[in-house]
Chain A
Amino acid sequence: MSYRISISPIRREAGRFIGRVRHALLVALAEESKKRGLTQAEIARKIGVNRSVINKELRGEKDITLGRVAELAAALGRKPVFELREPQISAKDRFVKITTDSTNRAVPLPKSSGATTHNSSRVA
């Protein structure tokens, strides 16, 4: 028996996107802190805000604007990359039903069936 959190697909995507962006910033901060001793105070000074603002944004206690994501990335010496990918087909959906026509020949599947797509729009 398994359990699914009851949340709309649209809000699931939104919540996970926000979480992933914040996580990427935190990991970069951890790496830069370890590598060159970068502090939140230094980042805040570069951006021109109070350290507590940065702290709340990274802790998830304050929303982060797209502009702030870019500012934080720049202060961390990183470049943000945003990409819109078509979703990949899940493994279970790759198992398509094989059918036959009246002559018992295999019927070709529509082009879209089971095709994994990699099209994307990317802004770097």
Chain B
Amino acid sequence: MATLLELILKGELVRLSPELDADRVESRWFYLTPRLKDLFDNKLPGMGSTWRIEQSPIEQVDFLLSHFAEGEPLAYSTMFRHLRHHSGFVWELKTADVRIFGWFAKKDHFVGHSLEHKQTLVDVPGLVTGYASEVVRYVESLDLDEPKFIAGDDPSHVVSNFYIADPS
């Protein structure tokens, strides 16, 4: 069994370097499994926006992960959200076009395992459940110290700063 740091040293996880401005301090941490690293390298840069907006999917993800790392409040509501609980211990980080599936190994420590274009998830029924199951199987096989994840759907258990905005 190993800690997150030991898994990084063994090359089983990679820590995101969020490239924050000099006056910003990293207060949340994002890790990539080898699968997500491959998707960041080979899939994300080629993704286009369904909405035809200026921010490309990779730019959306870069903003979201810098925002996450800075400890800025995350939107958690029905209408606007950066963060969504899926099922069990699986969570999604969301942008307008991209969904990143993973889990919180500790509060403010998110491990991402896969990503997909939002439109693909809409077009292919059952795909979201498939990605969530993939996360569960990966966590079960990972040689991480127990507890490997934070269970439940309470955002206050997984992130230290969030807000709810659901004005009609």
Contact = CB atoms under 8 A, between A and B. Distances in A.
> Do these two chains really belong together in a complex?
yes
Contacts of A90: 22
Given A6-B41, A29-B165, A87-B21, A19 B67 contact: yes
B32 interface: yes
A53 interface: no
Contacts, number: 115
A96 to B, nearest CB: 15
Contacts of A46: none
Contacts of B72: 23
A15 B17 CA distance: 17
A26 B16 CA distance: 26
A23 B82 CA distance: 10
Given A6-B45, A16-B63, A18-B54, A1 B11 contact: yes
**Could you say which interface size class chain B belongs to?**
35 or more
A83 interface: no
Contacts of A109: none
A87 B95 CA distance: 27
B17 A2 contact: yes
Interface string B32-56: 1000010011000100000101111
Interface in A1-33: 1-7, 11-12, 14-16, 18-20, 23, 26-27, 29-30, 33
A78 to B, nearest CB: 15
Contacts of A89: 22
B88 interface: no
A61 B17 CA distance: 27
Nearest to B61: A5
A48 B21 CA distance: 37
A122 to B, nearest CB: 16
Contact of A33 (B19, B22, B75, B165): B165
Interface of A: 1-7, 11-12, 14-16, 18-20, 23, 26-27, 29-30, 33, 37-41, 55-56, 58-63, 87-91, 93
| 5 tightest A-B CB contacts, nearest first | A15-B59, A19-B63, A30-B165, A60-B96, A90-B22
Given A55-B79, A60-B53, 7 more contacts: A1-B8, A2-B14, A3-B15, A4-B19, A5-B65, A19-B55, A27-B165
